[in-house]
Amino acid sequence: MKRLFLLVILCISASIQAQDRYFVFFKDKANSSFSINNPSAFLSAKSIARRVTLQIPITEEDLPVNTTYTAQVKATGAQTFFTSKWWNGVLVQTDAATITVIEALPFVKKVERVANGAKLINGRTAKREEEESTAAQSTDFQLSQLGIDRMQADNYLGQNVDIAQFDSGWKGVNLTSPFAHLYTSGRVKDVKNFVRNSSDVYTDDTHGTSVLSVMAGLIPNAYTGGSYLANYYLYETEDKLEEYRVEEYNWAFAAERADSIGVDVINSSLGYNQFDDPSMDYTKANLDGKTSVISITAKKAISKGMVVVTSAGNEGAKAWQTITMPADVDGILAVGAITSDGFKSSFSSIGPTADGRIKPDVVALGSATATINSSGSQTTTNGTSVASPLITSLVAGLIQLFPNTSPQKIYEAIIYSASQSNNPDNQLGYGIPNFSRAKSYLTYGKLEKDISVYPNPVKTKLQVVIKEPLGQTVALSVSDYFGRNLIKYVGTSDWSSNPIQVDMSSLPTGMYILEVTSGGVSEVMKIIKI
């Protein structure tokens, strides 16, 4: 009886002392030591320059959390960790009794339990998994399907573009040769493990390794990532061992860090809908892009000037079926998976959102996608997780080519360029995007005519743009008003030669007639030479 009584006492004591993770929300940012008039104290020069270029105001939301509030929370005995500017609060690890004390603090708005148990100090690491290996596969198809081969031929490889990847771990990335070029050239700029509060992102999982390889892997003459010369920021936000809402807040911590640095693109091959604690679960009615913590945060990230690319989810063959958060956000590039013959992968999540919007937004190869595993070997992987980094690479090339373009404009260009942009559905979204078509959109806007000419009036080079240059014969001539043919061109139109440049510099000023025939369509127009 004494042993049983002692055991009960010990169990009660352990229960009383049990620690969970909570997010503490503050009421305001009053008496902050920071000011929106001095943003260099909390934003990098690149981040500030982006705000100026895109006319994004710096507001109180961008100010760091009040440090005195955090200190007073810590004084209660709670362990304090990451703060969030956008959510105005701090992540803590403590017991229920201390939470009662914290809730009574005058500056605390509310407290939300976001995960069971303690992890942020001496948390468990995931067990190493054996990876399935299959025959090596060339990256040629997955790149050419999106026109990334053309992008790379034009030397748009992600140079000077900053990509933040949010994932569950990057085993082998710092040790194997396909990623060595990132380290020898100093292009892994920052790493942080928000799950376990450490700087080790190379222990917990291989998922991030596969995703990163699609963007950044490089084996000469054998494997080419889509944007292998970009800079990378590796942020571990996903806990492989458990699923709680704290991971959504981890995503927020990482997004704010990326924003303050000035990162251009966030790649997040993650999605949330149901958790280990059912009280945290979302329903399909919540798929409106403005309910879940992660979706609200992703929307904020876009509003700060970052393009956000996410996987649509692998729920297509499961009871849930539809996309997961944050793929429900309006303006996020939610990426579905297709097979090599262009059909939807069976596992790829479908739309629509709860408020009826088309999802996914676009698709890329997600069945037997060429990847690199943690031992540095070539293999293949299935999932929308490996489709999303292909789109991220496409985005990186467009940002490199058009560095002062807003996330909204990049999104529009990719949607416009996609294979079924005029007839989207909730299986493939707007379809398969294309680099050259997106480039054309960002250069000339939406082409209403099959044949367009810029500029007019012209001083030197006239640009003749074919809306869909798909290998058809193009014939053009420039004549004066006496009918004399002065310039003649016949060739084959494809994306690499679009637009066709007509040198008008040798012609005297005046009025000319341009006639263009392409794919059975003819246009005759007046051209003014100045």
- The model's pLDDT over 266-315, given as tens digits with 9 standing for 90+, comes to 999 999 999 999 999 999 999 999 999 999 999 999 999 999 999 999 99
pLDDT of residue 6: 40
- How much is the average pLDDT of 474-495? 90
Query: Is 90 exceeded by the pLDDT of residue 493?
Result: no
Contacts of residue 152, Cβ cutoff 8 Å, sequence gap at least 6 = 143, 224, 226, 397
Cite the residue boundaries of each domain of the chain with CATH code 2.60.40.1930.
451-529
- The model's pLDDT over 101-140, given as tens digits with 9 standing for 90+, comes to 999 999 999 999 999 998 887 544 443 333 444 566 789 9
Please answer whether residues 166 and 251 qualify as being in contact, where contact means their C-beta atoms are separated by less than 8 angstroms.
yes
* E strand or H helix that includes residue 26: strand 19-26
Cite the residue boundaries of each domain of the chain with CATH code 3.30.70.
17-115
pLDDT of residue 135: 62
- How much is the average pLDDT of 57-86? 97
Q: How many Å apart are CA 253 and CA 82, to the nearest integer?
A: 7
Q: Topology of domain 17-115, per CATH?
A: Alpha-Beta Plaits (3.30.70)
Amino acid letter for position 141 = F
Query: Is 90 exceeded by the pLDDT of residue 516?
Result: yes
Query: Domain 451-529 - what CATH class?
Result: mainly beta
pLDDT of residue 206: 96
Separation in Å, CA 83 to CA 63, 107, 335, 383:
11, 15, 30, 32
Dihedral-angle region of residue 461 (phi above 0 means left; psi in -120 to 50 means alpha; beta otherwise): beta
- Across-strand partners of 234? 165, 191
- The model's pLDDT over 172-231, given as tens digits with 9 standing for 90+, comes to 999 999 999 999 999 999 999 999 999 999 999 999 999 999 999 999 999 999 999 999
- How much is the average pLDDT of 89-106? 98
Amino acid letter for position 355 = D
Q: Is 513 helix (H, G, I), strand (E, B) or coil?
A: strand
pLDDT of residue 126: 42
The order of strands in the sheet holding 265-268 is 188-193, 231-236, 162-167, 265-268, 307-311, 333-338, 362-365
- Range in 184-193, 234-243, 380-389, 441-450 the model is least confident about: 441-450
List the structure tokens of 189. Answer: 């700029």
Pick one of 1.20.1250.20, 3.40.50.200, 3.40.640.10, 3.40.1310.30 as the CATH number of 140-444. 3.40.50.200
Please answer whether residues 324 and 385 qualify as being in contact, where contact means their C-beta atoms are separated by less than 8 angstroms.
no
pLDDT of residue 134: 59
Cite the residue boundaries of each domain of the chain with CATH code 3.40.50.200.
140-444
Q: How many Å apart are CA 325 and CA 303, to the nearest integer?
A: 18
Please answer whether residues 208 and 237 qualify as being in contact, where contact means their C-beta atoms are separated by less than 8 angstroms.
no
Contacts of residue 363, Cβ cutoff 8 Å, sequence gap at least 6 = 335, 336, 337, 338, 344, 348, 387, 428, 429, 431, 432
